[in-house]
Amino acid sequence: DLSSAHDAMRKDGHIYGLDMVTVAFGLLYNSQRYEEAGVTPASSPEEWIALSQTLTNRDEQKYGFFTNHLVSEAADFWFQLEVWCMPYDGVWAEGKTPLLTSDPILQGLSLFKQMYDVAMPQGTDGPTGQRLFGTGDVAQEFIVSAAVGSL
């Protein structure tokens, strides 16, 4: 039921637009890389950072995690950046009021930055990141449900 996704476009009970991009994101992981490292899926953001760092060996060009992160790919970057506040029950706005400096948003951005620092192939574009996940050189990635079939 996507009815709540349309609330931003609803006024006085009428819908004045349709949400075209409400899709589920998932964290896909390479079970072989997990097995080789002797790790299991994390159950908290802190465990996830540590797990991702364990899966990263920059000298061997093996990375624990990928998500779009290039400002030059602004649409993809923003599309994926917005999910980082979810572990903290964050929302980017309430009605017309932005919540960019709320604790959940700041925690989510901090989580992104920590992951960027310890686990991502920095400077890698989206298609290359997808390829690295496909070859096993990236152990985990955020991916939108509609793109899972492209792997």
Going by pLDDT thresholds of 50, 70 and 90, the confidence category of residue 17 is confident
Both tokens of 73, joined, read 């790919």
Give the per-residue pLDDT at 109. 97
CATH 3.40.190.10 is held by the domain 3-145: yes
Both tokens of 132, joined, read 């690295």
Give the per-residue pLDDT at 146. 64
Mean pLDDT, to the nearest integer, of 67-96? 90
For the chain, give the percent of residues with pLDDT over 70. Answer: 88
- Work out the mean pLDDT of the chain and round it to a whole number: 89
- Identity (one letter) of the amino acid at 40? T
Every domain of the chain and the residues it spans:
3-145
Render pLDDT for 50-76 as a digit per residue (tens, 0 to 9): 999 999 999 999 999 999 999 999 888
